[in-house]
Amino acid sequence: MVQELLRQVLAGRHLAEEEAAALMEEILAGRVTDAQLGAVLAALKLKGETAEEIAGFALVMRRLAPVVKSVHPRLLDTCGTGGDGANTFNISTAA
């Protein structure tokens, strides 16, 4: 399945949301090799990611993300990952 989706992306075809979701499930399940993952990510970047592809990836990541429980009802995570494209330094990422 991964090889077929990779072929499609390399051919310049956009993935449907469902295809992107299936791909992300394979990635997160550890059924994608490092080489396949690198190829898929490079191909998506070169082709240009679509909103449907990003939505499919995000839906799976949110569904599979662990729930963080806290005794503090107003706990909020404000740490970013950087990469804002504005040449700024994100101190929270460095921490």
Q: Is residue 74 part of a domain?
A: no
In a domain, 8, yes or no: yes
Compute the half-sphere exposure of residue 5: CA atoms within 13 Å on the CB side of its CA: 22
pLDDT for 68: 79
Query: Would you say residue 32 lies in a domain?
Result: yes
pTM of the model: 0.73
Distance between alpha carbon 15 and the CA centroid of its chain, in Å?
Answer: 14
DSSP 8-state symbol, 89 = -
Domain count, the chain: 1
Model pLDDT, residue 60? 97
- pLDDT tens digits along 2-22: 999 999 999 999 999 999 999
pLDDT tens-digit map of 22-77: 999 999 999 999 999 999 999 999 999 999 999 999 999 999 998 878 888 887 77
The CATH code of the domain that includes 34 is 1.20.970.10
| Residues 47-56: tens digit of each pLDDT | 999 999 999 9
pLDDT band per the 50, 70, 90 thresholds, residue 92: low
Give domain status of residue 93, yes or no.
Answer: no
| Residue 36, domain extent | 2-64
